[in-house]
Structure 1
Amino acid sequence: MSRLELDGELVRRARELAARAAAPVIDLGRTHTTVSVERATLRLAGLTGTDPVLGDGEVPWVNRVVDAVREQVGLEHGVALPVWHALTSGAAPDLQALAEQVGAGTARFALPDDPEPAREAARAAVGAGLARIDANRARREELVTTHGDPPRRPWIYLIVATGDIYEDIPQAQAAARAGADVIAVIRSTGQSLLDYVPEGATRTGYAGTYATQENFRLMRAALDEVSAELGRYVRLTNYASGLCMPEIAVLAGLERLDMMLNDAMYGILFRDINPRRTFVDQRFSRMVHARAGIIINTGEDNYLTTADAVDEAHTVTVSQLLNETLAHEAGLEDWQLGLGHAFEINPAVPQSFRLELAHALLARGLFPDAPLKWMPPTKHMTGDVFGGYLLDGFFNLAGALTGQGILLVGMMTEAVVTPWLSDRDLALRNVRYVLEAAGELHEDFAPQPGGFIDRRAHTVLTEAVQLLERIADHPQGLIQAIADGTFGITKRTPDGGKGATGVFRTAPGAYNPALELMERVDA
């Protein structure tokens, strides 16, 4: 859709450098595992629930089993071999019973002399979970065929999250009736720093609702109901980030979510999660998303809340290219790459709207087959609801002019108070008016070659290539760039951050049946 004529050689160079810069973290993901990757593997095999002895739903069985294996034999070989060796040796009749033995302190784990029986049993158990994910993907395709997709792009994306899943459901259905195509249930504050996934339906989240398997199931069922009513498939989004990124990705696949926020660096930069932990976890989680047919949303918009949107525009482009490289390696296709960017230039800057158009068109031109996720203004929303409403209208117009794929609805009270339902209604009216009035305006909008927008886009792309050259030439590549404060002017050291002790280099003979089965499909 982009009418920019980008320099093809510069674009080719950018992707080549992104591949070189990402290579060290791709190798890291292939040669390491984490506690969350291993817990996700047990979830695929069907282990659910919590240890009733150790708190009110706060110690899942998957955590208990992985911790026991780690203590007794280490995690360098993964959990599959010791766990299914115990099961095939007759120590317990099934995975749930084995977990209860862990809770009782009677389970004993060891690595098998002959790993093949354990491998075969683990492969069958995890394969059943992946088969359920495959069935959910097929069911989504069936429902889209039955109900239809939204009649136009961009899809309208609206956040709903009260903290109480039973309050979220009627609000989400009302939002869909008012025109929302994608419902995002934002997570409770701080959940990304929990090293476990809460269990069951929850009613006490803070500034969001906990991401749990039961909450996923309830909301998906509610949106299926309203999809049938409206005659268009309404998509559901949540967040696969933080210390439990792989597990939440698995739960999303098991309950047929359609989109997940899943960025390669967000947790590192904005939640101070260990870089190595994050890069290993994101690879596994993206393999699950690829298998499930889930569209990911990346988080480049966050950089512009801490850094200047003009001076640091090239870092957004660099991150988008790196996210694309890492996503492709994990098996995601272009139609699944909801790469992020945002309308965050200070409106007092002269030519601010033209600059926004240049940045949006650059992203559209670099990633023509990706459903880009365009984020509304937040940093410069001051509490002037009339000015904010106008600024959101300009944001919506930029989305229409530049052919964005997913448009998050901006609120006139953004960053001031939690928006009321009436605010959401007005915001949706703003989006609907602009998109309906503009129609297919992007077909008529062609920036002048050599003009302001064209020059600005090429300046940002050139600066992105120069930054990628510096990252690619460093032996530590992307991890060192993060330590240097390249993205969002935030510095994170390779060995620092939360979750660092949960990362393990895999030993010769290590086995993870989920990786084996997903990589086999990718191949």
Structure 2
Amino acid sequence: MSPTTVAPPPRLELDPRVVRKARTLARRLGRPVVDIARSHTTVSVERATLRLAGLAGADHERVPWVNHLVDAVRDQVGLEHGVTTPVWDALRRDEAPDLLTLAQKASAGSVSFRIPEKKGELSGARRAARAAVRPGLQRIDRQRAARDRLVGRLGDPPQRPWVYLIVATGDIYEDIPQAQAAAREGADVIAVIRSTGQSLLDYVPEGATREGFAGTYATQENFRLMRAALDDVSKELGRYVRLTNYASGLCMPEIATLAGLERLDMMLNDSMYGILFRDINPVRTFVDQRFSRQIHARAGIIINTGEDNYLTTADAVEAAHTVTVSQLMNEYFGREAGLEDWQLGLGHAFEINPDLPDSFRMELAHALLARQLFPDAPLKWMPPTKHMTGDIFKGYLLDGFFNLVGAMTGQSILLVGMMTEAVVTPFLSDRDLALQNVRYVQRAAGGLTEDFHPPRDGFIQTRARQVLSEAVELLEKITDEKVAKASGSTPLLEAIGDGTFGLMKRPKDQGKGLDGVARRADGYDNPATTMLEEGTR
């Protein structure tokens, strides 16, 4: 059951030709990047495929068996042909009785891998790999169907926007009661924020964890525990409470896969966040994000993108158009990977300096522009963080203004702002006050979306048109000038390298995880990718 968005009536008089041009330019920018993603693989894509085949667990030093097996294959024959062909060829040659034992033997260096040359051996290994991966995708399908049944029986929250609240103690067993309490107080979506630095780990930790830093580790067991706890409170409350985590960083495909297997409902999954803010190699990121979004599409998961982060490093007025460009690129990449519009939780944020004249009017203009450009997308509206000073009274008022913009512009997912944002880790009492703020605004002003119509050529209309025009100009500059400057280059990657987004310069031949990228050979095979693109059940 798709959580559709009821779009408000148009309020901005945007030139449809300008809107079409923006999307045309975004497609032109995105296609060469998709070509790169289609012609490369990564260690995390291959590990995710093995996880779909059921390989789990870790050694005594907590290194996952999928890492051991992929590393052994890469060291012996490379990843250019994919990991599954040499792995299932080894199983068919009785190198080990099962996948787990093979991984254990590979970690000790006692397995010989090869790319079979005989046609019968090659086709046999590939058939066996496909048969082994299929049950993982079928489990994702069953989890999606289970969500649909629960939503059908329990119902969705009665109001929009969905109230999205973060829980992050570092201890999954502390997170669970806090998440259930938040749901009882009105939260519709619980986000278990990830432990600081996990995006830079090139492995997924194993098991339930109790020692995170400013967050809780994303693991399959933690996903399972929290989903079960939210199912319990959903039945208690009579509405389905959604669960969010983070599919980003060096293990983006694996975390997306584990989320599908354990029925998470939303995942943070931005095409450029890891590049800009974690210095992960651009090619690695775009290859990984395409596979992860294919998994999300199959699982019925809503992605949340990270455009709000640009405004924490760049000025929210001067860089507003870069947010629009990123939203257009995330829309293109998401659709190309199979996501439907209702799964595109494109990000935007309330981050203009409140001391600027007309700051609230500009926030309205930016929020309305996003809402109208993407009418069927469940936009994720992010609260103020950059200009939260520690004055909790001013912060609480600023969050109220943020909630009011959400009500006036028909946002779909509203991340609850905290008056102690960026100062301390919020107490439960802070979360309760923040939820009270949201509830008051929703009760008092939730219907304003029907009444708010900015004048035809007034400040809000003019500002929105300006931002859209600047976005088109930037798209034109990237597609035209960069191609002329560097023949044969990939314009979007060149723009990222030049610091166009978020003031971060990230060259395509640098960054973390580059050594985990491999160009596909002509004989490359990945049954997970094939079945995802075929839509095979």
Q: Give the TM interval when normalised to the shorter protein.
A: over 0.9
The CA distance in 1 between the partners of 2:59 and 2:169, in whole Å, is 28
Please say if 1:13 is aligned against 2:13. Answer: no
CA offset at residue 104 of structure 1? 2.8
CA contact (8 A) 1:51 1:103 kept: no
In 2, the alpha carbon distance for the partners of 1:436 and 1:240 equals 34
Is the 2:72–2:107 Cα contact (8 Å) retained in structure 1?
no
Which residue of structure 2 aligns with residue 102 of structure 1?
106
1-structure distance, mates of 2:116, 2:134? 21
Q: Partner letter of residue 43 of structure 2?
A: V
- Deviations 1:47-96 (CA, angstroms, capped at 9, x unpaired): 000122xx1x2x10000000000000000011010001111222222111
Q: Which amino acid aligns with 1:503?
A: V
- How does 1:97-496 map onto structure 2 within 5 Å? 97-113=101-117, 114=119, 115-473=122-480, 474-475=482-483, 476-496=490-510
The amino acid that maps onto 1:218 is L
Residue identity (%): 75
SS in 2 for 1:341: strand
Residue type at the aligned position of 1:360: A
In 2, Cα distance between equivalents of 1:472 and 1:295: 29
Superposition deviation, residue 6 in structure 1: 1.5
Deviation at 1:321, TM superposition (A): 0.1
What is the CA–CA distance in structure 2 between the aligned matches of 1:6 and 1:49, rounded to whole Å? 53
| Structure 1 residue identity aligned to 2:356 | V
Quote the residue 2:85 is aligned against.
81
For residues 145-187 of structure 1, give each alpha carbon's deviation from its aligned partner in whole angstroms, at most 9, with x where no partner exists: 0100000110000000100000000000000000000000000
The alignment partner of 1:345 has SS state of coil
Structure 1 residue 522, shift from structure 2 partner: 8.7
The one-character-per-residue Cα deviations of 1:292-311 (angstroms, maximum 9, x if unpaired) are 00000000000000000000
Per-residue displacement from partner, 1:382-432 (whole Å, max 9, x unpaired)?
A: 000000000000000000000001000000000111111110000000001
Shift of 1:3: 1.4
Equivalent of residue 43 in structure 2, options 35, 40, 53? 35
Secondary structure of the structure 2 residue equivalent to 1:223: helix
Measured on the aligned residues, the alpha-carbon RMSD in Å equals: 1.0
Aligned to 1:512: 526
How far off its partner does 1:101 sit?
Answer: 1.3
Deviations 1:1-28 (A, max 9, x none): 1411211000000000000111121111
Q: What amino acid is aligned across from residue 127 of structure 1 in structure 2? A: R
Q: Give the whole-Å Cα distance in 2 for the aligned partners of 1:277 and 1:9.
A: 35
- Separation in 1 of the partners of 2:446 and 2:506? 44
Partner of 2:179, secondary structure, is: helix
Tell me if the contact between 1:331 and 1:522 (Cα under 8 Å) persists in the aligned partners: no
Query: Structure 2 length normalisation: TM-score?
Result: 0.96
Q: Return the offset for 1:440.
A: 1.9
Aligned to 1:62: 66
SS at match of 1:236: strand
Distance 1:522-1:378 versus aligned 2 partners, 3 A rule: farther
Equivalent residue for 2:34?
26
The alignment partner of 1:21 has SS state of: helix
Specify the code of the residue in structure 2 equivalent to 1:102: A
Cα distance in 2 for partners of 1:5, 1:120 equals 55
Shift of the alpha carbon at 1:511? 0.2
Q: Deviations over 1:270-326 (max 9, x none)?
A: 000000100000000000000000000000000000000000000000000000000
- 2:244 aligns to what SS in structure 1? strand
List runs of 5+ in structure 1 lacking aligned partners. none
Using structure 1 for the length normalisation, give the TM-score: 0.98
The structure-2 alpha-carbon separation of the partners of 1:522 and 1:494, relative to structure 1 and needing over 3 Å to count, comes to: farther
- Report the secondary structure of 2:535's partner residue: helix
Question: CA separation in 2, counterparts of 1:469 and 1:124?
Answer: 46
